[in-house]
Amino acid sequence: MATSLDKVIYTARAHTTGGREGSSRTDDGLLDIKLSPPKVMGGAGNATNPEQLFAAGYSACFMGALKHVAGMKKVAVPADASIDAEVDIGPIPAGFGIAARLTVSLPGMDRAVAQDLVDTAHQVCPYSNATRGNIDVTIALAD
C-alpha cells in the first residue's frame, strides 16, 4: 500500500525530451543535462544516464538522512563521511528493473554507533522508503 505524504514540503520539477537519448532540465535551470545510454547498452556513452542520476540522488538523500538521524541522536558525522552508490539495470519478467547498493563510510566512528546510524537512516530516507519492497537494496557499512 502506498504511503501518502502528510504535507508537501517541496516539489522538484523536470522536463525531459527524447528519453534515454535526450535531455532533461529542471524548472529552475540548475540541472540541464544531456542523456545517453551507456555503451554497454548500445548508446554513445557520452552523457549521463538515469541510473547514474538515481545513484547520485539516492546517495545524497541517504547522507542527508544519516546527518538528520545523527543530529537527533546527538552524534557527530565525520567531516569525511561518504557514500558510494551503485545502481544496476537488467531484465525482469515484465521488462527492466534496477537494484541498488550503498556503501557508507564513516571514518573514525565506533562501528556499532555507525551501524546504528546507517540502520536508522535507512528507515527515514525517502529513497529507502520509496524502494523498500520494490527493488533489491543493499546498504553496507564500509570496512
Tell me: the pLDDT tens digits for 5-40? 999 999 999 999 999 999 999 999 999 999 999 999
Task: Please report which confidence band the pLDDT of residue 3 belongs to, taking 50, 70 and 90 as the band edges.
Answer: confident
Q: Is the full-model pTM beyond 0.85?
A: yes
Q: Which residues does 57 contact at the CB level (< 8 Å), separation at least 6? A: 127
Rounded CA Rg of the chain: 17
Q: How confident is the model at residue 2 (pLDDT cuts 50, 70, 90)?
A: confident
Q: Could you give the CA distance from residue 83 to residue 102 in angstroms, rounded to a whole number? A: 6
Q: What is the pLDDT of residues 121-132, one digit of tens each?
A: 999 999 999 999
